Structures are given as structure tokens and as C-alpha cells.
Amino acid sequence: MTDAAEAAAVRAFWQRLDLPGLIDLHVHFLPPPIERAVWREFDDAGDKIGRPWPIRYRQSADERVALLRDFGVRRFTTLPYAHKPGVASYLNEWSRAFAAEVPEALWSATCYPEPEAPAYVASLVADGVQVFKVHLQVGEFHLDDPLLDPVWGVLEDAGTPVVVHAGSGPVGNAFTGPGSMARLLARFPRLVLVVAHMGSPEAREFVDLAEQYDGVHLDTSMAFTEFFAETDAYPRELLPRLVDLQDRVVYGSDFPTLPFAYAEQLGWLADLGLGDDWLRAVCWGNAARLLGIS
């Protein structure tokens, strides 16, 4: 599929739903040296997850922004994530500058369990940051790490969404799974957490948390794709519960690190058969509400 044909397919999807476009809450733009390092990890994924992960969208950042615009993605994240102490501030400053230059980019930030985190998170929130991202699999920490306690208090009071890669897909470790999120929410129940990839493969446990806590949302990125289904298909018996959680599911793609066309993922969402109202809420309304987008 050419870029032009794919863009036409994506636009046809949201136009059929009478939407103004898409809001994608799981898009990554990173500083070039870190982005290259991340892509090398995906290039070596065959040894780690048992199958190749060819990245489809390796264009320059400017070309990728242009492609998202052509798709009709009206707002998208950059979702930096820190993998060790001392990196978050660099990522956050780069993301701030990127969002200042790209009107569609949501100002995204990250944090890491480190003594400096409470101060820089409070400063970012005061300045108007729109969304945070943390990655337990890559960062190798638990959400309820004591160093993050002041951070969660600030984010809970502000209502700032935090996209969390907590599920054990595609490869888990001692820090992934629902456990630390459940412990965190017991102490900070008003947090707005967006569970990346629907929490796959621990999908049931994360649906449980979404039903228990009003601030827990689920992002669709790659969770319903045939690529993920090779090992851990999303349990179809959970779909009726996703209908009941219609206002807490948000669209995410994981662009640009996709092994398939962006448009295909939208087709898989439609194929769930959960209805046009569900698709409208997921692909626009819920994220617009979370972020105050008219």
C-alpha cells in the first residue's frame, strides 16, 4: 500500500464515522540518538520475542509528521520514556521543543524514580504539560517505587493523564504486570492512568482495574492486531466489558514502530463489531475529554 493509498484509507475510516479526524494517544517521537537506539532494539527483536519486528515507518521526523497530518490525525503524543536515572530531563526538554514546533503534538513528558523527579514533574505540570509516559518494562521499576510517591500526588491532583506500559507484552520482566498499578491505585485512587496496549497479555486484570477506578483508561495500541495474536490474542470474552467501558477506551497506534500499515489497525478495531458509537468515543471523544480538546 502506498502512502497516498493508506492515507486515503485512514481518512475514509474516520469520515465514515463523521469524526473531525483521529486523536492518537500512543505515538512516539524521540530525540534522534535515542530513537535510533530504540529502533535497533526492535531490529533485534527476533531474538527477544521470537519473531521479527520490522519497523514500517522509518522516515524522518518531518516526513512522519506530514504522514500523520495526511492521515487526519489531529492530535498525537510524543511519549518519551526514561530507561535510567538522569535521562528524563533531557527527554522532557526535547519533547517540549518538539511540541512547540508541531501544533498537533501533545506536550508529553516522562519521569523516573529518582530524587529529582518530584521537582521536575511539579514544574512541568505547572507549565501545562499535557501527558506523561512511563515504561515499566524498559525502565525496570515498579509504579509504587517510594521515590515516585510525591510525583503521583502531584499528578493525581492535576488530573494529568499518564500512559503506562505495564503489561508484560511483548516480553515481560519482574516489573511488568498489574501488581504495582493495583498497589498504586489503592493509595492514589484518583490518578488518570492510560494502560498501553490494553495491558496485554494481562488484559483481564487491567479491565478489572478500569472497572474499579474511574481514572483508569485502556489504549488500543496493537492489542487487537493479528501481529500480537500470534502469541497472546486479546480475549474475545472481554469485549462486552469494553462496551460497558466505552468512555474509558482510547485509540493508540504505537506509530512509528509498527510492523504493519497504520490503516490495518483501524480495520481491526472496526472488526471487533462494537458499534460506531464505540468507535467514535474511542477514536476521538474520550481522548478529547481527557485532554480538553474541543
Q: Give 10-residue mean pLDDT values along the chain (294 residues).
A: 91 98 98 93 75 91 98 98 96 98 98 98 98 96 98 98 94 93 98 97 96 98 79 86 98 96 95 97 98 91
Asked whether the beta carbons of 25 and 163 are under 8 A apart, the reply is yes
Domain count, the chain: 1
CATH value at residue 249: 3.20.20.140
Residue 205 corresponds to which cell in the numbers above? 486484570
- pTM above the 0.85 mark? yes
Residue-number span of the structural domain to which 53 is assigned:
3-291
